């Protein structure tokens, strides 16, 4: 008992040696003669290996799960050729003794498949060769060739996509490394399959040639050397040769079929039976029509009724059963997901309970289904939102935590920033929201509401009415998009607070190597990290992208030579970013629409700025501030419906204070000064405050 149990790990431990010995045995068969009983074992092994390869090809989830297939195919081909050579040696040397000269496997195939009639055997053998060589092998070779070409052509694009996801922070370095390795394996696999398919074709050709040699050589040896009658020699050697051909061509056909299944699997995931049932069963009408046609054929005079009637009943039964089975499976899956979402979880550690999420979205129990689909649901849209913010504003948002909350109403949601609820709303998960941006009234049946982000009049409608509402000029979005849009605007409003000290440090650490010297010279020699953080926060507060971080740091370095005032440093950095700021403000016609603050108001602002060293205070009387806000609000709202939101243009010294006032009445209105207008930026004045 102990010896046997110890022998298994020993064999597994030295499986590389056993594998090498197996290959040496195959090479030995090519050189040395083998007895008939050993040939029987080899032929049975060849058949078993072929069936095993086919079963694995049927049940794998994706082609890359059987990446060793080209190597296995080469070894299986070598094994069959070695057995072919060994059987040829036995047939030619011992064929005169009878049909059992080459072992019982070949004799069994000769008697069972051919019934002792070599003409039948030749016909069956010819059909197998034609099917294998012309149909399966040729098609599989072409698919492998095209697949290898497309895999290599798509490799740069996939590599760039992985790098983009890594840069945006959507994946970790470990995941990126795994994807790159998988991409390399995929291209190597399809390239190897392109070459391995030639093994299969060569094997089919070799089998045909070997069969011809065996028949002709056997008859020559039988008549000339063994004194056999020509008829006896022809019959004996043909039966042995065709039996040998069948016993080698059947495994070759099975392996060719496995190769065809593997390369034709493409990007489909799941086993072949799952794909066939899922895709064919997805169209019950097709099954019903096929069943009806079989029923008509069963009634055709001269055709046998039972087989066609049986097929008609089978197709009709599948057409009735499969949709109901799929619906039941979907309902069961949805029920399990709901139970999993509501299942009690283990108590969180105290440290996790005390941790405050930077961004959190809590959903009522009726909205849990929105986060169950990882590919198309709310989770996927939030991931895309983080990627868009990274591209647009230059820093990666903190992770957004999505969780259900039993304390909320069924279809309600809340958005929290750093532990504080800053926005809330309600959506209907199985409805579409038709938004009326022009206020003309929605004449599509549904439940009236207000769009939670901008407060526009809207109506929840059925999904079937989407096209009708869009044709009437309404904007139609689903519940996921409503929450995502609301979250996006909330994040834009609170971006400065989300760029913390650690996030700023990470931004600087991840800069290119050539810019690290700039960081080292700036911090802490000229300014502290907190000053850089406050400048970046000030830019984000006015929705200016910080993606061009080297220019921002250069601007901070220049301003730090003459001031430590963060506001003055920020104004200088904004002037360095003038081209970027102007480009973001251009409308579709290519110019910047501005509302100019007239000289009287500019003078009033400048007169109420009190300088105390590097600090500046704004001391305008409240009544005058109120007059300015009323005038500014009227002008801004008058142009709010235009294609592009206008900017307010003011003198450089007054810009920070005008911005701080306008933030109360119109936070999204950009305020720029003359120093921030690039020399090539076309400006059009559309009004005056």
**Cα–Cα distance between 37 and 43 in angstroms, integer?**
10
**How far apart (Å, rounded) are the C-alpha atoms in residues 259 and 257?**
5
Which fold does the domain 499-576 belong to in CATH? Helicase, Ruva Protein; domain 3 (1.10.8)
Task: Give mean pLDDT, residues 35-59.
Answer: 85
- Give mean pLDDT, residues 418-431: 87
Q: Looking at residue 536, what is its pLDDT?
A: 93
Q: Which of 59-68, 222-231, 406-415 has the highest average model confidence (pLDDT)? A: 406-415
pLDDT confidence band for 467 (50 / 70 / 90): confident
For 613, how many CA atoms within 13 A lie in the half-sphere containing its CB?
4
The H or E element spanning position 416 is strand 412-417
Gap between the Cα atoms of 423 and 453, Å rounded: 9
Please, what sign has the CA dihedral across residues 347, 352, 356, 357? negative
At the topology level of CATH, where does 588-689 sit?
A: Rossmann fold (3.40.50)
Report yes or no: 499 and 535 within 8 Å, Cβ to Cβ: no
Predicted local confidence at residue 534, as pLDDT: 92
Q: What is the pLDDT of residue 539?
A: 92
Q: Where does the pLDDT of residue 4 fall: very low under 50, low under 70, confident under 90, or very high at 90 and above?
A: very low
pLDDT band for position 281 (cuts 50, 70, 90): low
* Predicted pLDDT at 270: 58
Percent of the chain's residues with pLDDT above 90: 3
**Residues facing 618 on adjacent strands:** 609
Answer yes or no: is pLDDT of 7 > 70.
no
Residue ranges of domains in the chain: 20-270, 281-333, 351-496, 499-576, 588-689
User: Minimal CA–CA distance to 540: which of 616, 549, 422?
Assistant: 549
Does residue 438 register a pLDDT over 90? no
Which of the pair, 563 or 281, is modelled with greater confidence?
Answer: 563
Give per-residue pLDDT as tens, 17-46. Answer: 777 887 787 777 777 777 888 888 888 888
> What is the predicted pLDDT for the residue at 167?
60
Residue 5 pLDDT greater than 50, yes or no: no
pLDDT, one tens digit per residue, over 473-515 is 788 888 888 898 899 999 988 888 888 888 888 888 888 888 8
Q: Is the pLDDT of residue 55 over 80?
A: yes
Region of poorest pLDDT, from 54-63, 116-125, 428-437, 627-636: 116-125
- pLDDT-based confidence at 552, cuts 50/70/90? very high
Higher pLDDT, 240 or 656: 656
Average pLDDT, the chain: 80
Residue with tokens 């066609």, as numbered in its chain: 308
Percent of the chain with pLDDT over 70: 87
Distance CA 40, CA 43 (A): 5
pLDDT in tens, 665-687: 888 889 999 888 888 788 888 88
- What integer pLDDT is reported at residue 13 of this predicted model? 58
What value does the mean pLDDT take over residues 371-388? 78
pLDDT of residue 277: 67
What is the model's pLDDT at position 439? Answer: 65
- Establish how many alpha carbons lie within 13 A of residue 654's alpha carbon, considering only the half-sphere containing its beta carbon: 23
Tell me the Cα Rg of the chain: 39
pLDDT, one tens digit per residue, over 610-626 is 887 777 888 888 888 89
Looking at residue 345, the DSSP 8-state letter turns out to be: P
Mean pLDDT of 404-427: 87
The predicted-structure confidence for 328-372, as pLDDT tens digits, reads as follows 777 777 777 666 555 554 455 555 555 778 888 888 888 887 876
pLDDT of residue 275: 66
Which pLDDT tens digit goes with each residue over 148-181? Answer: 777 677 777 777 777 666 665 567 777 778 888 8
pLDDT at 3: 41
Considering the domain delimited by 351-496, tell me its CATH architecture: 3-Layer(aba) Sandwich (3.40)
């Amino acid at each position: 008992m102990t010896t046997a149990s110890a022998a298994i790990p020993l064999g597994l431990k030295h499986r590389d040696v056993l594998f090498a010995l197996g290959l040496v045995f195959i090479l030995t068969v090519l050189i040395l003669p083998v007895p008939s009983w050993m040939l029987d074992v080899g032929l049975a092994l060849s058949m078993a290996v072929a069936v095993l390869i086919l079963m694995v090809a049927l049940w794998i989830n994706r082609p890359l799960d059987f990446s060793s297939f080209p190597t296995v195919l080469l070894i299986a081909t070598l094994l069959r050729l070695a057995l072919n050579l060994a059987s040829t040696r036995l047939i030619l040397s011992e064929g005169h003794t009878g049909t059992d000269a080459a072992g019982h496997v070949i004799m069994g195939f000769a008697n069972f498949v051919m019934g002792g009639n070599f003409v039948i055997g030749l016909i069956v053998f010819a059909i197998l060769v034609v099917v294998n060589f012309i149909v399966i092998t040729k098609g599989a070779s072409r698919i492998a060739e095209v697949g290898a070409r497309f895999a290599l052509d798509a490799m740069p694009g996939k590599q760039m996509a992985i790098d983009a996801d890594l840069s945006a922070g959507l994946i970790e370095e470990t995941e990126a490394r795994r994807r790159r390795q998988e991409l390399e394996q995929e291209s190597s696999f399809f390239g190897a399959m392109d070459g391995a398919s030639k093994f299969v074709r060569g094997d089919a050709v070799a089998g045909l040639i070997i069969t011809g040699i065996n028949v002709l050589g056997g008859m020559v040896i039988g008549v000339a050397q063994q004194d056999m009658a020509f008829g006896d020699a022809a019959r004996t050697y043909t039966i042995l040769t065709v039996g040998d051909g069948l016993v080698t061509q059947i495994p070759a056909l099975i392996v060719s079929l496995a190769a065809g299944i593997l390369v034709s699997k493409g990007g489909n995931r799941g086993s072949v039976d799952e794909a066939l049932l899922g895709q064919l069963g997805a169209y019950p009408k097709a099954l019903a029509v096929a069943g009806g046609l079989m029923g008509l054929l069963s009634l055709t005079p001269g055709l046998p009724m039972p087989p066609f009637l049986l097929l008609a009943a089978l197709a009709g039964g599948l057409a009735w059963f499969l949709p109901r089975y799929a619906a039941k499976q979907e309902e069961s899956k949805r029920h399990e997901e709901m139970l999993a979402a509501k299942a009690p979880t283990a108590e969180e550690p105290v440290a996790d309970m005390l941790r405050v999420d930077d961004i959190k979205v809590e959903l009522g129990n009726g909205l849990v289904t929105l986060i169950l689909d990882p590919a198309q649901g709310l989770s996927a849209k939030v991931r895309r939102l983080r990627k868009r913010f990274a591209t647009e504003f230059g820093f990666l948002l903190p992770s957004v935590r999505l969780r259900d909350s039993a304390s909320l109403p069924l279809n309600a949601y809340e958005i929290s920033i750093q532990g504080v609820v800053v926005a809330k709303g309600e959506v209907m998960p199985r409805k579409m929201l038709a938004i009326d941006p022009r206020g003309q009234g929605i004449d599509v049946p549904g439940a009236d509401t207000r769009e939670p982000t901008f407060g526009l009049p809207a109506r929840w409608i059925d999904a079937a009415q989407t096209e009708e509402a869009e044709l009437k000029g309404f904007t139609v979005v689903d519940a996921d998009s409503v929450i995502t849009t609301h979250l996006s605007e909330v994040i834009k409003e609170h971006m400065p607070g989300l760029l913390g000290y650690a996030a700023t440090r990470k931004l600087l650490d991840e800069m290119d190597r050539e810019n690290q010297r700039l960081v080292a010279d700036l911090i802490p020699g000229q300014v502290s990290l907190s000053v850089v953080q406050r400048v970046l926060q000030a830019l984000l507060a006015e929705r200016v992208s910080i993606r061009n971080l080297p220019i921002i740091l250069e601007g901070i370095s220049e301003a730090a030579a003459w001031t430590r005032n963060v506001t003055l440093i920020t104004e200088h950095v904004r002037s360095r970013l003038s081209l970027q700021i102007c480009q973001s403000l251009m409308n579709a016609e290519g110019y910047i629409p501005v509302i100019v603050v007239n000289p009287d108001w500019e003078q009033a602002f400048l007169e109420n700025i009190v300088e105390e060293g590097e600090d500046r205070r704004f001391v305008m009387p409240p009544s005058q501030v109120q007059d300015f806000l009323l005038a500014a609000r009227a002008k801004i709202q008058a142009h709010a419906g235009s294609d592009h939101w206008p900017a307010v243009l003011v003198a450089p010294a007054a810009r920070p204070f005008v911005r701080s006032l306008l933030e109360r009445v119109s936070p999204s209105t950009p305020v720029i000064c003359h120093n921030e207008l690039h020399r090539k930026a076309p400006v059009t004045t559309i009004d005056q405050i």
